[in-house]
Amino acid sequence: MDEFYHLNKDPKAPDAKPTWVNWNFGKHSFAANDARQWAAWGVDYLKYDWFPNDVAHVQEMTDALRATGRDIVYSLSNTGIYDNASDYVRLSNLWRTTGDIVDTWDSVTRNGFNQDRWAAYTGPGHWSDPDMLVLGRVGWGPNLHPTRLTPDEQYSHMSLWCLLSAPLLLGCDLANIDDFTLGLLTNDEVLAINQDALGKQATQFSNVDGKIVYAKTLEDGSYAVGLFNRGDAETTITLKWGPWGNLPTERVGMTFRVRDLWRQQDLGDFKDSFETKVASHGVVLVRLIPTETHP
C-alpha cells in the first residue's frame, strides 16, 4: 500500500467529511505470504501501519496471521477510527487511538487525557493504545536526547498509561537507561495497576480547573486512582468516595486504606474523602483498599 496521503477538504464545505487522496491498496495482496514468512522467522509482534484502518484489510491480515498457527500480537496503527472499534476488538490485539506522540507535556496530555470513549472496548486481549512511552533517551537513530518531560510530567505519563491499561511500549534507548527512568519502569505496584487481570480502563470522573481524577476498578475489589494537576502551580485535590464512574455509590461512608503507589507506603485509613497536594503537571497515584465489607 502506498503510505503517502494527505487530508483534502473542500473549502466550500468546511463541515464535510474529509476525503483521503494519494493512497491506495495494490492490485495484488501479499498478506498470506508475508504472514507465513514472519511466522517462519519467529516474529511475535506485527505493527500494521496505515490510515485509515479499513475493516476489510484488517480482516485480511487477521486471517493470514491466524492461518500460520503462530501466536503473533497484532497491532493496528495509527489513529483508529472510532466507528470501527468493535471490529478492532474482534480482529486485533491493540489499536492506536491517536497520532504520534512526542516528548512534550502538550503531546502526552493530548494523547492521554482523551481516551474515555475507548474504555468500553478495552479489555483482556484487546487494548486501546495511545502510543509509546516517551521516557528516557528518545529520538530517531543516532539523534537521541533526554526526554523533554520534567520528572513530575514523567510520573504523570507513566501513571496515566498504567491507569488506562495501555500497552507499555518503550521508546527509549535501553542500552543507556538511567536510574530515574529505570525506577519509573520497574515499580511493581505501579505496573500491577497496568497489568491487573480485570483489564479495565480508567475513566475520568472529575475535571475542574485542571484538577483531573481518574479511577479504575481492580480485580480484588480495590480501586486505582490518579489525581493529576495539569495546572502550572501546586494545588490541592480532594477525592470523595461516591457516585462516580468506577466507584459504586454503595462505597459512600466506607473506610479505605490509601496507599501511595510511587512511594510504596500507606498514607492511612480515610472515611468519605482523601485530600493531597499535587505538584504542577504532577500526579498522586493511590490504591484504595476497603477496610470493611459494608458501609
Q: What was the pLDDT predicted at 83?
A: 95
177 in a structural domain? no
Q: Which residues are catalytic?
A: 49, 100
- Our count of domains for the chain comes to 2
Q: What was the pLDDT predicted at 151?
A: 98
- 69 burial via Cβ count (<10 Å: 0-12, 13-18, 19+): exposed
139 in a structural domain? no
295 in a structural domain? no
147 in a structural domain? no
Task: Report the distance separating Cα 211 and Cα 227, nearest Å.
Answer: 7
Q: What was the pLDDT predicted at 295?
A: 42
* 179 vs 25, more confident: 179
When the pLDDT of each residue in the chain is averaged and rounded to a whole number, the result is 89
Single out the residue in 96, 126, 150 at which a domain terminates.
Answer: 96
Interacting residues of 40 by C-beta distance below 8 A, sequence separation 6+? none
| pLDDT over 70 percentage in the chain | 87
* Residue 72, domain extent: 1-96
- Is the backbone of residue 250 left (phi > 0), alpha (psi -120 to 50) or beta? alpha
80 in a structural domain? yes
**Given a cut of 50, is residue 246 above it in pLDDT?**
no
**Given a cut of 80, is residue 273 above it in pLDDT?**
yes
Mean pLDDT in residue range 48-77: 94
Task: Report the distance separating Cα 277 and Cα 292, nearest Å.
Answer: 27
117 in a structural domain? no
Task: Report the distance separating Cα 66 and Cα 47, nearest Å.
Answer: 15
Q: What is the pLDDT of residues 103-118, one digit of tens each?
A: 999 999 999 999 999 9
Single out the residue in 79, 96, 113 at which a domain terminates.
Answer: 96
Residue 155 φ then ψ, to 5°? -60, -40
132 in a structural domain? no
- CATH number of the domain bearing residue 223: 2.60.40.1180
Single out the residue in 68, 96, 124 at which a domain terminates.
Answer: 96
89 in a structural domain? yes
